[in-house]
Structure formats: C-alpha cells, structure tokens
C-alpha cells in the first residue's frame, strides 16, 4: 500500500504563488481598464463619424461608383485624419450607429442600409457595400 502525504492546510500557498496570483489579478484589472478605454475611443470615433460630413477614404472602386450614382459626393481626404474624406450624403440619408462601435450603417431616405462603414480610430476605415 502506498501512503500519500497530503498537506495539512491546502489553502496556504507559498509566497511566490500568492504574488503570482496578485500579479495575474492586476494584469486582468489593467486589461479590463484598457478594454474600457479602447471601447470609449471606439464610441468617440463612431460619434465623430456620424456627426461629421465624412466617410472612409478606403472604398472599393465599384462601391464608390455605386454610392456616387446614388448621390453621395466625395471630397478630399482630411488633413488631420488620412482614414477619412469629406463626403456629402443625399437628402434624407444618414449614418446610424450599430451595437458594435466600430461599425456604422449608411442608411438611405427609405430606411434601406446602403453600406456598412468600419472605422477604428487610429487603425483602419473602410466601407462594405
């Protein structure tokens, strides 16, 4: 018969393990804080996109042609943000926030979604049709 020696108090951990767990908790806490900051940046980016006459600069040529045919007027790239360009939407069109702050919908005057816009502040921006 083999005798197994169990520790008397299994809740006690060596100091190195306690510090390791504390460090993991701290990292998880900072990770949470950073994700909240990133989400706030994304929400501010979405708000900026919706409230200003801009659209992403990166658009597939066929998508740009279709949007121009529908009446969207594209202007020059913004000096302070190379991801976006000036854009004037047809009367009644609007940009509508989605549940995901990096995505916004371009909706026409009849409520039809004409395009999905991706915009990540400092990252990337494009339009899907």
Is the pLDDT at 82 greater than 80? The verdict is yes
pLDDT of residue 31: 66
Domain boundaries, the chain: 15-128
Half-sphere exposure (CA, 13 Å, Cβ side) for 110?
3
Mean pLDDT for all residues in the chain: 82
**Which has more confidence, 85 or 128?**
85
Give the chain's end-to-end CA distance (angstroms, integer): 72
**CA neighbor of 93 nearest in space, from 121, 74, 116, 112:** 112
**5 phi and psi angles, rounded to 5 deg:** -95, 110
Helix (H) or strand (E) holding 76: strand 73-77
Question: Which residue is associated with the tokens 């020059």?
Answer: 76
């Amino acid at each position: 018969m083999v005798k197994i020696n169990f520790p008397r108090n299994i809740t006690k951990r060596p100091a190195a393990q306690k510090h390791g767990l504390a460090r993991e908790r701290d990292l998880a806490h900072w990770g949470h804080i950073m994700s909240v900051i990133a989400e706030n940046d994304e929400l501010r980016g979405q708000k900026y996109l919706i409230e200003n006459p801009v659209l992403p600069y990166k658009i597939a040529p066929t998508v740009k042609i279709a949007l121009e045919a529908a009446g969207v007027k594209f202007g020059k790239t913004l000096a302070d943000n190379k991801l976006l360009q000036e854009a004037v939407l047809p009367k009644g069109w609007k940009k509508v926030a989605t549940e995901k702050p990096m995505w916004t919908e371009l909706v026409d005057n009849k409520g039809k979604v004409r395009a999905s816009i991706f915009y990540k502040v400092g990252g990337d921006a494009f339009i899907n049709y």
